[in-house]
């Protein structure tokens, strides 16, 4: 089965050569004949409808995930019938006043589509996480960690009945970043680039390269050649094994065209599905993995603890920003009260003249109201951010406790079970890493 991941960077009237690049992407998809295509940054529904019309013959089934002010930018095209879809919008996604970054307006989310691949059920997820604008001073790191936490929760809780799980998207995280490790360790998802038998593409699988004309080299600092932040992840089940036979990426330039498809390189992975033989299902499969389960549980405890620490850092920052907004609001309120007192002087002292010119008086009043309105909105926003961070931190605390109990139970069971049979301490849908 072929699975492709393309990044459109399609902001109408802002992105360079947007109509031409959509036409190029449509032609490429018609030519390549992938089974499943996942797209990000399709910000305009008109562009989605253009692709839907162009791909109607080769990908008759599609879905566009709507979210946020300008949309989630997520879309899926498939040769196989899409049985059901669902969208989950991340609770945290940057700040509205950082308009030049634009993530908050995009409504970052994860979209899920359920497909039938022959006799197998496949859950396919497409997502786009918050961008990292500075490697050294990443003020969005707590938000991205919470997004990774919510993503792994969403995948685990919705894929319990799936035979095959495929996740594709711009995670905006390096392979060893905290959120990436959290996602793969908790879900057992495998990285196509690391598991592929054959690779053809950019050096080290990079998907954001310095040679791309749409990329500013400042975005890549301190990585001169490029970075790998886009992924195709997969996982099998007791019914089917998934193997990545080959993977490739575009390499910046496109033959016979003056510019590439997008600022990101497109990924294509060829995934092969193999039904499990009866000898490899059930308890035999658990026996094969029992030696590494203890180590993986201990590693996951450390990863979630690290993520919880990062969320706490975000909590302290949000509390500080909310306090600053409240203090500024109080100052604005005091200034407004002082102005009202000054305005009342002519009425309290008969015959007295207004001490300030009318124009200055009105301008000051407008300034006071603007301060009050802005700080009130910021206070509400930071309160919402605090609640989301606190909710994620509470969930991580419970998750750590549950993992520690499983780890303790597994160790005790091994001590009292010299025959080596796997202990019954792991529930379906919970942590179940796969090799």
Active centre residues (catalytic): 264
Residue 108: which of 127, 86, 123 has the closest Cα? 127
């Amino acid at each position: 089965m072929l699975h492709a991941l393309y990044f459109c960077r399609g902001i109408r009237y802002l992105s360079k050569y947007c109509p031409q690049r959509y036409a190029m992407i449509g032609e490429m998809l018609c030519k390549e004949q992938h089974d499943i295509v996942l797209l990000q940054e399709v910000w305009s529904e008109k562009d989605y409808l253009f692709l839907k019309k162009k791909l109607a013959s080769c990908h008759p089934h599609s879905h566009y995930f709507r979210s946020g002010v300008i949309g989630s930018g997520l879309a899926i095209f498939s040769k196989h019938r899409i049985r059901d879809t669902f969208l989950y919008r991340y609770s945290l996604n940057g700040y509205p006043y950082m308009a030049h970054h634009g993530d908050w307006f995009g409504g970052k989310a994860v979209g899920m589509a359920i497909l039938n691949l022959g006799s197998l059920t496949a859950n396919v997820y497409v997502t786009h996480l918050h961008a990292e604008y500075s490697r050294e001073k990443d003020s969005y790191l707590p938000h991205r960690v919470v997004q990774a936490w919510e993503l792994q929760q969403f995948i685990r809780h919705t894929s319990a009945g799936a035979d095959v799980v495929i996740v594709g998207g711009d995670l905006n995280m390096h392979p060893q970043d905290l959120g990436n490790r959290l996602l793969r360790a908790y879900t057992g998802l495998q990285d196509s680039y690391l598991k592929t038998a054959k690779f053809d593409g950019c050096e080290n699988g990079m998907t954001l390269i310095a040679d791309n004309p749409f990329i500013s080299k400042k975005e890549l600092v301190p990585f001169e050649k490029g970075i790998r932040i886009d992924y195709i992840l997969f996982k099998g089940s007791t019914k089917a094994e998934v193997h990545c036979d080959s993977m490739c990426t575009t390499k910046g330039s496109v033959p016979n065209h003056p510019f590439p498809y997008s600022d990101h390189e497109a990924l294509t992975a060829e995934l092969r599905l193999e039904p499990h033989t009866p000898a490899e299902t059930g308890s035999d499969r658990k026996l094969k993995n029992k030696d590494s389960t203890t180590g993986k549980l201990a590693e996951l405890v450390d990863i979630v603890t690290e993520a919880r620490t990062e969320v706490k850092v975000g909590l302290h920052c949000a509390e500080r920003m909310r306090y600053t907004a409240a203090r500024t609001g109080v100052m604005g309120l005091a200034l407004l009260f002082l102005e009202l007192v000054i305005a009342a002087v002519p009425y309290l002292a008969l015959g007295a003249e207004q001490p300030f010119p009318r124009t200055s008086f009105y301008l000051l009043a407008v300034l006071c109201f603007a301060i009050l309105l802005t700080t009130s909105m910021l206070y509400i926003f930071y309160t919402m951010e605090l609640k989301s961070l606190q909710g994620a931190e509470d969930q991580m605390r419970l998750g750590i406790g549950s993992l520690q109990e499983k780890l303790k139970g597994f160790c005790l069971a091994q001590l009292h079970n010299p025959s080596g049979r796997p202990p019954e301490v792991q529930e379906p849908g919970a942590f179940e890493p796969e090799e």
